[in-house]
Amino acid sequence: MGYKYRYVIKSINDYLNIIKQIQTNEKSYTSQLWFRGQSRSEYRLNPKGLRNTVPAMNSYGYKIDRPSTGYGDYHIGPNIERMLSKFKQKAIPFLNYMPRNEFEWMFIAQHYGLPTRLLDWTDNPLVALYFAIYEAIPSDIETNMEDDIQTFLNNNEYINGGAAVHVMNPSSFNNLSCDINEPIDISAQFERWKMYVNPTLHGVDAFLPIAILGNHIDQRIRAQSGHFTLHGSNIWPLDYYIVFEDVIHKIFIPYDVIDSLLEELKLLGITHSFIYPEISSIVKDITEDEYLRFWRGYQSGEISLGIDE
């Protein structure tokens, strides 16, 4: 699919105004928008557990010797369910809360980096923006920001010239996916949705991705206002489905404006230690602040030979 709705920001003010515009267009005043930041605009909306699959058989049942993008191909890859099972065996001594079901295990495993069928979203737009830009690495290819912006807006929404934030209304998403007009509290309704624990065994009964609420059972999930989309037996990226193109918006963030955006976010209290409330994050914030203070002072002449004068 292509993105019907594309936007570009150069400041926090641009960003918030666009979100207000999307909220008005989506008529989402009774349903909170969800946001997902990605450090490269070229990345598709695919969960980590489904990014390393290869086609093994085409739609006619013939073996495929090399990867392809043919419609109806059967894919294979790392066993997501096996990884979650091993995580459950090894993680128990480190948990302050014992998950009640498989979905709660998924939530915790996802937030500690285990590949799953979950794709992270947040209802905090500033958190999503931080995720998009704090580790964004500019392309090695020399480009012009204004040219990149025009390319993104006119003919290539996957241009490698910046980061991106995706925005969607989860109620509208689920209305298209499963005829439910709200995000699903999948942990509280485990029996109804348990076919999504291992959807490859259930085929069309767990086919399309769904938008689900994340239990705030972990400090990281709570700090990040985390929710998820959960992929079913069809492994297409969310931005591949034509049916979802009316409810997923994409905001392009040129690499040239990332440093100024990080400064604006810091003024608003959105830092690494806010996103990840743990001691290692405090260390990261202190280190980044000191290195930034030093280099600015050194370049301006206020600091000489690394010593304050």
From CA 134, how far away is CA 207, in angstroms rounded? 34
Q: Which residue has the higher pLDDT, 272 or 156?
A: 156
Residue 282 has pLDDT above 60, yes or no: yes
The model's pLDDT over 100-136, given as tens digits with 9 standing for 90+, comes to: 899 999 998 998 889 999 999 999 999 999 999 998 8
Say if residues 105 and 221 touch (Cβ distance below 8 Å): no
What would the mean pLDDT of 231-254 be, rounded to a whole number? 93
Render pLDDT for 213-228 as a digit per residue (tens, 0 to 9): 987 655 555 555 679 9
**Percentage above 70 pLDDT, the chain:** 81
**Selection from 41, 71, 69, 74 nearest residue 57 by Cα:** 74
Question: What's the rounded Cα separation, in Å, for the pair 137 and 149?
Answer: 17
Q: Which ranges in 186-278 belong to alpha helices (H)?
A: 190-193, 219-223, 258-267, 272-275
Q: What is the pLDDT of residue 60?
A: 56
pLDDT for 186 equals 94
User: CA–CA separation, 71 vs 257, rounded Å?
Assistant: 39
Q: How high is the pLDDT of residue 307? A: 47
169, 31 Cβ separation under 8 angstroms: yes
Indicate if the pLDDT at residue 66 is higher than 70.
no
What pLDDT does 309 receive? 43
The per-residue pLDDT of the chain, averaged, comes to 84
Q: Which of 15-29, 90-104, 228-242, 254-268 has the lowest mean pLDDT?
A: 15-29
**pLDDT for residue 204 is more than 70:** yes
Of residues 285 and 213, more confidently modeled? 213
Rounded to an integer, the average pLDDT of 56-60 is 57
* pLDDT above 60 for 76: yes
- Is the predicted pLDDT of residue 81 greater than 70, yes or no? yes
